[in-house]
Amino acid sequence: DLRKSRYKNFDELYLYCYYVAGTVGLMSVPVMGIAMDSQATTESVYGAALALGIANQLTNIFRDVGE
């Protein structure tokens, strides 16, 4: 945030979101765990956690644009 505040395209913005929030989603999986009776694959759980982290960061950015 200190070095760059504008992005040329969505791919650049996505990469930023991955670094700042996607990784937080990924790190939360071992903390929260996966239910023993879950039918989901480990890969799909981590994919969902990554997507949730990125979506949360995009939501934060969209909210800031209005301000």
The domain in which residue 29 lies consists of 10-64
Q: How many domains does the chain have?
A: 1
Position 1 in a domain: no
Position 41 in a domain: yes
Burial class of residue 52 in the structure, from the number of CB atoms within 10 Å of its CB (0-12 exposed, 13-18 middle, 19+ buried): middle
CA-CA-CA-CA dihedral for 10, 57, 51, 11, to nearest 10: 10
pTM: 0.80
**Residue that is written with structure tokens 């909210």 in the block:** 63
Q: What is the pLDDT along the chain (67 residues), one digit of tens a residue?
A: 667 778 899 999 999 999 999 989 999 999 989 999 999 999 999 999 999 999 999 999 888 877 6
Q: Are 57 and 17 in contact (CB under 8 A)?
A: yes
